[in-house]
Amino acid sequence: MNVLITDEERGRLLANGQARAASQGIDPLPPVRLFTPDAHATWLLAALDPTDGDTAWGLIDLGLGLPALGTVKLSDLVGIVGPNKQPVMRDRYFQPTRPLSDYVRLAQENGSITD
């Protein structure tokens, strides 16, 4: 198990990553929500690159009002801490309710990830 994601979440992210790499035009439910409790940053992760197992793709909101699709390395997230020295955490209670494209649309309308 990675510090930030469970083995089950890793499996779902990798399956989505394989479909994405095969250009299957997926719009998955993002299985993982990571956040900084003291810095207003949020990552809704939808896929994991099957070639390196570290590069995640999803909706990134750094708390600047400009949420966007992008990639981030899980290994980089492990080292991030907020102003009060709180690390990136996994939202253990997150249950996706819509496909990633809907989260993107709503985040861009609102200037942040809501939900």
pLDDT at 104 over 60: yes
Q: What confidence tens digit (pLDDT) does each residue in 46-61 have? A: 999 999 999 999 999 9
Q: What confidence tens digit (pLDDT) does each residue in 80-96 have? A: 998 999 999 999 999 99
For residue 41, give Cα distances in angstroms to 19, 89, 106. Answer: 27, 10, 16
pTM beyond 0.85: the answer is yes
